[in-house]
A and B are shown apart, each in its own frame.
Chain A
């Protein structure tokens, strides 16, 4: 179980990374040039030879991609920031602007050894629907900042995924950062996930986020076979208190397996319980 041969470059800057991701003389026509960071998902795929890049461009040491900056009502988190730094919050230079949501989600991703290496950008770019950040960023309607040869572009998380493992990233582009909204003092949230053991990928995820000051009410149903499903608007989200309404959503998502439906229903019901019992 060893990876097929590939070239490897570690970069110091986004510019350098973008340059290295351009095809060079001597590259095969179909050569796959991949950015990488914590390699917690890519590593096993390389070793199983399911992914066969010609060249890996390591982004994990680029200072700009490790930066975290507050910009008005948004927090920009560099793509190479690890789950562990988000878990550790202020102590690791990642201020918590989400009233505990991001640190708590981060703390329940896999186990600490994985969190020390795995990155938020890597997880989002990988696009495994069972990964936490995919559902959480969809819930938060986060903005994804994509760097390419012609500069940076911005994509809403709702437009980032075409399907599992399929993103708006074009060849030669990298995910540079994710921007999340700064919650108001009146924000409430709930996040529930079901997995067989701590550290396993989720079988079902439910998230709720209300922020009256921002005029936000959103819900997410995550980790089915497809990408996370969001519902927004106070009335539409409140309707999800009714299991029948949830059932209709699951129908629309083509989730027919009774066991999976039960898991989603249970996660969402428990998320509501958290919202209703959380101190205002």
Chain B
């Protein structure tokens, strides 16, 4: 759609983000900006070892009251994120280590002082005895394929959860003309929002309440978790997430540090602060993405899929994080590995295994980035085996638009869309013939050109019917919004979700405009504070456009009826005929009009003008929302790119990148583009740069941003975006969740392009990131194999 075809207000308008005014002028307020009188700083003593038995902890003499261990935190309970899935083994994550340490960076003691530097001085004087134990580092060994120590001594093995999605593949295995099997891996990553975690906490003696400012995506969930661990009721806890500098899942957990700081604020009766530094972010707190697939695809000789068979393992790290648990990622692999494709049979075994590494969290895209990498590399492998193009193999297997809505082999209900069209549009926009010609010309020595595609569909905003089965500490139900007109006609919207890059201060104002006709600039979003907003599971799973958007629409609709009733009395016209446009109510019969400000003024300041049957609750409503069908929206996108691989250096340059995305009706196309492009940058990180390796002792090897490479301005190309718009049949405006999509497809598209470039050299990369070293090693192996073959031919 061209920009000049877009509406200027309401759903679908490409409004610039309201919140950017403060962000771009440096007026945002993050946790680290908060100053409270008498604030003390906290530094943690963290485990230098990945696995060990904890011995004596000796506090520096004279500082016994400034250093705290788990023994001091009497009555505090461990974080315990369970799952109701059968066979799940829960872990106890103590806020400060007890008995054993299970990862480098695990919190052992808490030191408090007048400044962070002084607290760190104290921390290095704490003496900790740890008897080293062998570290469990390799997930396949942890699964039982090789000897390994026990991360949790009483488990008997290292498996949080094993799942099995069963299918009958016997006949297909015996007869399928194409059978391709690969071992595919995605590296462990460290989510790296610009702002790390941080906590400022104080005890309010007047309200008898703990007040915690924390960089979090889900303040109500943090409150619930704090209550469970501290043993105080939720009413005595207020959690505030102020401006938050990127979440991506990294801020979707309850932290041991949050529990420690809460306890400390109550103990000292003084405000305390801990701001995560980059070293803690990279090495101590949650990681993501580490998957391993032993996967086989069975197909007809023309490339039509018959079956997928897979052993999938996820390295879940040492503990089950609250609230998503250690099983979400692997179990999700089992349910979404088929992607947007049709097949006759499917069998997938998954393992969530415990290792001596930080817990993994669902990162933007959750399991989909790994799953898309696995299935899309395999589709290319099938195409090569069948002698057809990557585009053709996908077109032969994608769910077709006339089949929508479609229930796939794992029971996922694809709501709407035209997947083949998205793929065709992306490939066409890339101009395949141009790249094939350049590829064939081979003008530059050591440079090989390749083209790659990937496509996915993404379940978003799924609710109770999906989540209750997981049995984790949090199940989304109805989403609520409280809407209030102030006496001068400003609309206040209160929601329990949080906006930390999603632009909800703008998009939800647009939703309000579409219902109430109010100017977006006269809408204020109040959020991120448990004291001022209705309960919500928060911002995750690309759910807010659908769920918060739906709740705002419902609340505004209810408010509209109240406004219409009052306006009807003021205009002496029938309420139902009044139209809400341009910040007021218009009577189409007379052309007379009354503004929202006049309606509000009348209700609050001139109650004598109200009709006898006016709704006594006036201009405040709370409404709840659930999609007509809560199995989720399925947005989707096709990515297509061209790359140049330098076969001497192993480097990859992205020459062109095209995305065709369908997010249903876009609340704000500009913000949707921003979401897609931001996700793309992170996907490029997964594809080519980001990796948190560990040595055999479980030591993290990328502890600084000089070692952990993030894509920057020079690594992210100007992608070209194309939008389709297939409404979801189940949501308020036909919108779908798309917040995570951009990060899902790039590793598959880019590595498929690399493999296309290097296919003639006998190279197939099946691991990401596709670093220069990995590419050169693959080239060297292929060269050795060719030499070996030549040698064998000579000998024969």
Interface residues of A (CB under 8 A from B): 1-5, 44, 48-49, 194, 196-201, 258-259, 262-263, 265-266, 269
Whether the pair A198, B124 counts as a contact (CB closer than 8 A) is no
Is B780 within 8 A of A1, CB to CB?
no
- B278: Cβ under 8 A from any A Cβ: yes
B709 touches A200 (CB 8 A): yes
Bound: A182/B651 CA distance, A: 36
Contact yes or no, A5 B121, CB < 8 A: yes
Q: Is A258 touching B780 in the complex (CB atoms < 8 A)?
A: yes
List chain A residues, Cβ under 8 A from B780. Answer: 258-259, 262
Interface residue ranges of B261-296 to A (CB < 8 Å):
277-280
Known: A2-B115, A49-B124. 16 other contacts (CB 8 A): A1-B278, A2-B116, A4-B120, A48-B279, A196-B771, A196-B772, A197-B714, A199-B712, A200-B706, A200-B709, A259-B650, A259-B773, A259-B777, A259-B780, A262-B776, A265-B648
* Residue numbers in A under 8 Å from B277 (CB-CB): 1
Provide 23 A-B residue pairs closer than 8 Å at the C-beta atoms, listed in order of the A residue: A1-B279, A2-B116, A2-B117, A3-B117, A4-B120, A5-B117, A44-B706, A48-B704, A194-B649, A196-B689, A197-B711, A197-B712, A197-B714, A197-B715, A198-B714, A200-B706, A259-B650, A259-B776, A259-B777, A262-B648, A263-B649, A265-B648, A266-B446
Q: With A1-B277, A4-B121, A259-B650 in contact, do A196 and B776 touch (Cβ < 8 Å)?
A: no
A176 to B713, CA, bound (A): 36
Contact B709 A196 (CB under 8 A): yes
By a CB distance below 8 angstroms, the chain B residues around A269 are: 648
**What's the nearest-Cβ distance from chain B to residue A200, in Å?**
7
CA–CA, A5 to B117, complex, Å?
A: 8
* Across-interface contacts of A199 in B (CB, < 8 A): 712
Residues of A near B116 (CB, < 8 A) are: 2
A198 vs B711: C-alpha distance in the bound complex, in angstroms? 10
Determine the distance from Cα of A266 to Cα of B279 in the docked complex, in whole angstroms.
34
* Chain B residues within an 8 Å CB radius of A266: 446, 648-649
| Top 7 A-B pairs, shortest CB-CB distance | A2-B117, A1-B277, A266-B648, A259-B776, A198-B714, A2-B120, A1-B279
B124 contacts across to A, CB distance below 8 A: 4, 49
Residues of B within 8 A of A198 (CB): 714
Q: Determine how close the nearest CB of chain A comes to the CB of B770; give it in whole angstroms.
A: 12
A155 CB to nearest B CB, Å? 29
Determine the chain A residues whose CB is within 8 A of the CB of B777 once the complex forms: 258-259
Contacts of A265 in B (CB 8 A): 648
**Residue of chain A at shortest CB distance from B124:** A49
A196: which B residues are within 8 A, CB to CB? 689, 709, 771-772
The listed residue with most A CB atoms (<10 A of its CB), out of B116, B649, B650, B772, is B649
How many Å lie between the Cα of A196 and that of B649 in the bound state?
10
CB distance from A260 to the nearest CB of B (A): 9
Q: CA A258 – CA B650 in complex, angstroms?
A: 12
- Interface digits, B688-706 against A, CB 8 Å rule (1 contact, 0 not)? 0100000000000000101
Q: Which of B124, B648, B712, B714 is the most central at the interface, judged by chain A CB atoms within 10 Å of its CB?
A: B648
B residues with a Cβ closer than 8 A to A are 115-117, 120-121, 124, 277-280, 446, 648-651, 689, 704, 706, 709, 711-712, 714-715, 771-773, 776-777, 780
Shortest B156–chain A CB gap in Å is 39
CB distance from A179 to the nearest CB of B (A): 31
Residues of A within 8 A of B706 (CB): 44, 200-201
**Which residues of B are found within 8 Å of A197, using beta-carbon distances?**
689, 709, 711-712, 714-715
B interface: dominant SS = loop
- Residue numbers in B under 8 Å from A5 (CB-CB): 117, 121
A227 to chain B, nearest CB (A): 20
In the complex, chain A residues whose CB is within 8 Å of the CB of B773: 259
Docked Cα-Cα span, A5 to B279, in Å, equals: 19
Bound together, the chains give a CA A44 to CA B776 distance in angstroms of 32
| Distance of A174 Cα from B120 Cα, bound (Å) | 31
A contact residues around B712 at 8 Å (CB): 197, 199
Bound form: Cα–Cα A198–B714 in Å? 7
Min distance, Cβ B561 to any Cβ of chain A, angstroms: 55
Bound state CA distance, A48 and B121, in angstroms?
12
Contacts of B648 in A (CB 8 A): 262, 265-266, 269
Q: How far is the CA of A200 from the CA of B709 in the complex (A)?
A: 9
B715: min CB distance to chain A, Å: 6
On chain A, the residues within 8 Å of B279 by CB distance are: 1, 48
CA distance A3 to B121 in the complex (A): 9
In the assembly, what is the distance between CA of A197 and CA of B120, in Å? 33
Q: Which residues does chain A contribute within 8 Å of B776, judged by CB atoms? A: 258-259, 262
- How far, in whole Å, are A258 and B776 apart by their CA atoms in the complex? 9
Closest partner residue, chain B, to A201 (CB atom): B706
Residues of B within 8 A of A2 (CB): 115-117, 120
Which single member of B121, B649, B704, B771 contacts A44 (CB below 8 Å)?
Answer: B704
Return chain B residues, CB-CB under 8 Å to A194. Answer: 649, 651
CA distance A262 to B649 in the complex (A): 7
Bound Cα distance from A48 to B705, whole angstroms:
13
Assembled-state Cα–Cα distance A258/B648 (Å):
12
Cβ-closest chain B residue relative to A111: B712
B703 → chain A closest CB, angstroms: 9
Min Cβ gap B446→A in Å is 8
User: Closest A-chain residue to B650, C-beta based?
Assistant: A259
Q: How far is the CB of A215 from chain B (nearest CB, A)?
A: 33
How many angstroms between the C-alpha atoms of A279 and B622 in the bound complex?
Answer: 76
Q: In the complex, A48→B651 CA distance in Å? A: 31
User: In the complex, A178 Cα to B278 Cα: how many Å?
Assistant: 35
Q: How far is the CA of A262 from the CA of B780 in the complex (A)?
A: 10
Chain A hits for B711, CB < 8 A: 197
CA–CA, A197 and B278, complex, Å: 20
Docked CA distance A121–B712 (Å)? 28
A56 to chain B, nearest CB (A): 15
B41's nearest neighbour on chain A, judged by CB, is: A2
Residues of A near B771 (CB, < 8 A) are: 196
- Chain A residue nearest to B648 in the complex (CB): A266
A49 to B117 alpha-carbon distance, docked (Å): 11
A106 to B115, CA, bound (A): 38
Chain A residue nearest to B771 in the complex (CB):
A196
Q: What is the CA–CA distance of A194 and B771 in the complex, to the nearest angstrom?
A: 13
Instruction: Collect the chain B residues with CB atoms within 8 Å of residue A4's CB.
Output: 120-121, 124
Instruction: Tell me how far the C-beta of B119 lies from the nearest C-beta in chain A, rounded to whole angstroms.
Output: 8
Question: Of all chain A residues, which has the CB nearest B704?
Answer: A44
The CA-CA distance from A4 to B119 in the complex, in Å, is: 11
Q: How many Å lie between the Cα of A1 and that of B279 in the bound state?
A: 7
A-chain residues with CB within 8 Å of residue B715 when the two chains form the complex: 197
Bound-state Cα–Cα, A196 to B711, Å = 10
Chain A residues whose CB sits within 8 angstroms of the CB of B115 once the complex forms: 2
- Distance between B620 CB and nearest chain A CB, rounded to angstroms: 47
For residue B120, give the distance in angstroms from its CB to the closest CB of chain A: 5
Complex-state Cα separation, A212 to B278, whole angstroms: 51
Residue of A5, A194, A199, A269 most packed against chain B (CB within 10 A): A194
B787 to chain A, nearest CB (A): 14
Chain B residues whose C-beta falls within 8 Å of the C-beta of A48 in the assembled complex: 279, 704
The residue of chain A having its C-beta at the shortest distance from the C-beta of B646 within the complex is: A266
Q: How many Å lie between the Cα of A199 and that of B689 in the bound state?
A: 14
Determine the chain B residues whose CB is within 8 A of the CB of A200 once the complex forms.
706, 709
Report Cα–Cα, A248/B780, bound state, in Å.
19
**Distance in Å from the Cβ of B409 to the closest Cβ of chain A?**
40
| Cα(A197)–Cα(B706), bound, Å | 11
Chain B residue with the shortest CB-CB distance to A258: B780
CB distance from B685 to the nearest CB of A (A): 11
CA gap between A198 and B773 in the complex, in Å = 17
Query: Which chain B positions have C-beta within 8 A of A201?
Result: 706
Question: Chain A nearest CB: distance from B632 CB in Å?
Answer: 37
Residue of A whose beta carbon sits closest to that of B777? A259
Cα distance A194–B715 when bound, in Å?
15
* Identity of the chain A residue whose Cβ is nearest the Cβ of B714 in the assembled complex: A198
Whole-angstrom CA separation of A44 from B706 in the bound complex: 10
Inter-chain CA distance A222–B704, complex, in Å, is: 23
B756: min CB distance to chain A, Å? 22
Nearest chain B residue, comparing its CB with the CB of A198:
B714
* Distance A197 CA – B650 CA, assembled complex (angstroms): 13
Residues of chain B with a CB closer than 8 A to A262's CB: 648-649, 776, 780
